[in-house]
Amino acid sequence: MNKFVLASAAILSVNYSINAQTLQEAIKKTENERYEAASSDFKTLIAKEPNKGDYYFYYGENYFKNNDLDSAMIMYKKGSETSAMYPLNYVGIGKVFLFQNKESDANTNIFKAKTLADDKTNKSVKATTLMKIAEAYTTAPMYKNLPEAIKLLNEAAKLDKQNPEVYILKGDALLEQNPTDGGAPIKEYDKAFELDKKSVKAILRKGKLYERGRNYTEALKYYKDAEAIDLNFAPAYREKAEIYNKASRYKESIENWKKYLELNNSPSARVRMAYALYNAKQYQDVITEVELILSTDPNSTSASYLNRVLGYSYYEVGDKTDKEAFKKGINAINNFFEKTAGKEFKYIPDDYKYKGLLLSKTGQDSLGVIELEKAIKLDSIANCDLWGDIGKIWIKARRYDKSIAAYQNQSKCIKGLSSQDYYDMGRAYFYGPKDFVKADTSFSKLCQASPTYPVGYFWRAKANVQQDLKNENWLAKPFYEKAMELVKPEERGASYKANVIEACEYLGYYWVTKKDYVKAKEYFNIIKDIDPNNKKAKDFFASPQGK
């Protein structure tokens, strides 16, 4: 290496030492995934000393770790222009090229970085350069070079034996090389921890190993240990949130996402929290969160999935507090389908289910049924109960034949028919084919399922009236009597008013035919109390029997 390079490296080493504390604070914020805070620090550092190559490199790392490769490349290139002899920015450029699948360009810059770092008088810079190259070879999505990464890390360890980062990266490389063997990596993480008892990165890596092995309890222990050491270590909260989510402990998952977002208000974390909120069935909070995310970046890579969960949530919330909820929901689910169309996207049954339900709620019944049937076709067992929803849609549309067919399918499901289903199917038989026997059978099932519900008995009475139009057998009498027994006096003039009048007219007339006018008068008095202008009651009281 020529004298100029040697001199530059020596100066670099001195300057790096002078500013180490401030720079290390910014680097730590990056490692803690506090990217915005770190970015602010790097801007301050560069404003004070605009010619420092290491500032640009670690500023680039801040962008890179936050998945902003374009901004990272700008910083790495700026650093290489500002401090041409500083090797790490060429590593950064090479790393971005690796992630862009440009192997040749990557190798050119990595070779340049190694050449510049080949300075025996500055072991720290050389060791760091080798470590960063190894990290790039380990994490690159396609052009990995794990044997070379491990070789470089062994060299770095000889140069800087007391640097825990060497062993953390070596553990990562070994794990990537053999994902089924956690023994070798954990030894390296233990070495790092021995060198630095406050190495939250080493603790986190051990936790991740246990998490990969599905030992979530042990993994959680390590994440809590990392949090205890450094309350600002955001990755610990993220990992805890994910584990709690896997364990369906959604409240704790949400709590940890909130803590994470206090430290790193990243879009990806907000998306993950939105899903945790959805899993916790906090649908209104999902809507608030997702609307905020989409208003900031409507074309983000996660927008498709967010529109999906937004549509689902609007349906679940319903229109009680927002009359436009179902309309907003169908708009969201339509956006989801539009953004995923033609992309070999694998839809799940719930996509069609919620689209169908939302279409129905916005007056598009026939289209809604088509979507619901798609959901059933994809998973006829899990979505069998959607036949009940289809039945309700056809009842609303007065397509009684289709409603009956849907409820017949629903009856074959594991859960069978609900009380509401029996009620709707009974009415479908009543108004559609006018099969009053089958209508009565359905209402009978309703009464068995809900024996204290007066409506079931009112409808059994109606069905029996139609089977005994001349009152030859008074088939409806026991059902009207049972219904009247269940309706409280204070409820007679409210929601049950029409049914009560109908029942009392029938029962009053029955007792007239039996010449028990006292008993008849009881029923006509009930009618008079809730409807003084009722003609049949007036006629009765005007008759000799009613006086």
Q: Which tens digits make up the pLDDT trace of 417-449?
A: 999 999 999 999 999 999 999 999 999 999 999
Alpha carbon distances (Å) from 247 to 218, 236, 283, 295? 14, 17, 20, 31
Measured CA to CA in angstroms, residue 280 lies from 1, 206, 295, 315, 417 at distances of 62, 29, 23, 16, 27
- Tens of pLDDT, residue by residue over 348-377, are 999 999 999 999 999 999 999 999 999 999
Asked whether the beta carbons of 107 and 72 are under 8 A apart, the reply is no
Q: Identify which of 121, 112, 87, 89 has the alpha carbon closest to the alpha carbon of residue 7.
A: 121
Amino acid identity, position 116: L
User: In the predicted model, is pLDDT for residue 2 greater than 50?
Assistant: no
The string of pLDDT tens digits covering residues 372-425 is 999 999 999 999 999 999 999 999 999 999 999 999 999 999 999 999 999 999
Residues 9-60: tens digit of each pLDDT: 333 333 433 344 589 999 999 999 999 899 999 999 999 999 999 999 999 9
- What is the pLDDT, as a whole number, of residue 9? 36
Mean pLDDT of the chain: 92
> Measured in Å, how far apart are the chain's first and last C-alpha atoms?
125
- 120-138 residue pLDDT tens: 458 889 999 999 999 999 9
Sequence-distant (6+) residues with CB within 8 A of 42 are 26, 55, 58, 59, 62
Minimum mean pLDDT among 42-46, 111-115, 216-220, 338-342: which range?
338-342
Q: What is the pLDDT of residues 308-338, one digit of tens each?
A: 999 999 999 999 889 999 999 999 999 999 9
**Numbers of helices and strands, H then E, in the chain:** 30, 0
- The residue among 268 and 356 whose pLDDT is bigger is 356
pLDDT(77) > 60: yes
DSSP assignment string, 277-332: HHHTT-HHHHHHHHHHHHHH-TTSTTHHHHHHHHHHHHHHH-SSS-TTHHHHHHHH
DSSP-derived letter for residue 489 is: G
- pLDDT of 10 reads 35
> Stretch 338-348: mean pLDDT, rounded?
87
Q: How confident is the model at residue 341 (pLDDT cuts 50, 70, 90)?
A: confident
